[in-house]
Amino acid sequence: MQQQQQSLNFIPNQTVLYRARPEILKNLHRLIDEHQDAVYSLIIEAMDIILYCLDHNALKARGLGEMYPAITSFQNVTFCNSSKRVAVGARNGNLAIYELKTGKNQVRATV
């Protein structure tokens, strides 16, 4: 029982997914360059990945366009410097607003 409990206590920054963040961003950048239409149809999911992979403190200080310029090719993605929020609109009418203070998806709605 104690051994099972220890295996559940892991440090998030030591997971494979966390350590792979730079490689994930690089591959997503390649997808945006080569298959922008396909990424556009999954833009909210792509933004979930981007925001997971970026350093939130640096993102708050520098902005989304500076931290991940590939995303600026989409007109349906915007970053508000004063409120530190990212808004993303999808083709299907879905809207996601991300609060960078918490790093969480604040609102996800269908318009």
Confidence of residue 1 (pLDDT cuts 50, 70, 90): very low
Average pLDDT score over residue span 1-29: 76
The whole-angstrom distance between residue 81's C-alpha and the CA centroid of its chain comes to: 16
pTM over 0.85: no
Place of tokens 């999911």: 45
Q: Which residues contact 74 (CB under 8 A, 6 or more apart)?
A: 36, 40, 43
Cβ atoms within 10 Å of 39's Cβ, excluding its own: 20
How far lies 7's CA from each of 2, 4, 10, in Å? 9, 5, 7
Cβ atoms within 10 Å of 61's Cβ, excluding its own: 11
Specify the pLDDT at position 59: 87
